[in-house]
Amino acid sequence: MARLIYILNGPNLNLLGQREPEVYGHTTLADVEQACAALGAELVLKLRFLQSNHEGQIVDWVQEARGTAAGIIINPAALTHTSVAILDALNAFDGPVIELHISQVHKREAFRHHSYVSQRADAVMAGFGTHGYELALRQMAHLLV
**Does 82 interact with ligand DQA (rule: CB under 6 A)?**
no
C-alpha angle 30/77/43, rounded to 5°?
50
Catalytic residue check, 116: no
Residue 30 C-beta: closest distance to ligand DQA, Å: 16
Select 46 or 122, whichever has its Cβ closest to ligand DQA. Answer: 122
Catalytic residue among 24, 113, 131, 133: 24
Supply φ then ψ for residue 120, to 5 degrees.
Answer: -115, -30
- Alpha carbon dihedral 116, 122, 124, 125, in 10-degree steps, equals -150
Q: Is 101 in the site for ligand DQA (CB under 6 A)?
A: yes
Which residue, among 40, 49, 25, has the nearest Cα to 129 in the 3D structure?
25
142 carries an active-site annotation: no
Q: Out of 6, 101, 116, 133, pick the active-site residue.
A: 101
Taking the complex as a whole, the smallest distance from the CB of residue 145 to ligand DQA amounts, in Å, to 27
Going from the C-alpha of 85 to that of each of 15, 38, 74, 145, the distances in angstroms are: 24, 32, 14, 30
In angstroms, rounded to a whole number, what is the distance separating the alpha carbons of residues 117 and 47? 21
Q: Nearest approach, Cβ of 125 to ligand DQA (angstroms)?
A: 10
| Residues numbered 106-145 forming contacts with ligand DQA, rule: CB under 6 A | 112
Q: Which residues bind ligand DQA (CB under 6 A)?
A: 12, 75, 77-78, 80, 101-103, 105, 112
Give catalytic residues, as residue numbers: 24, 101
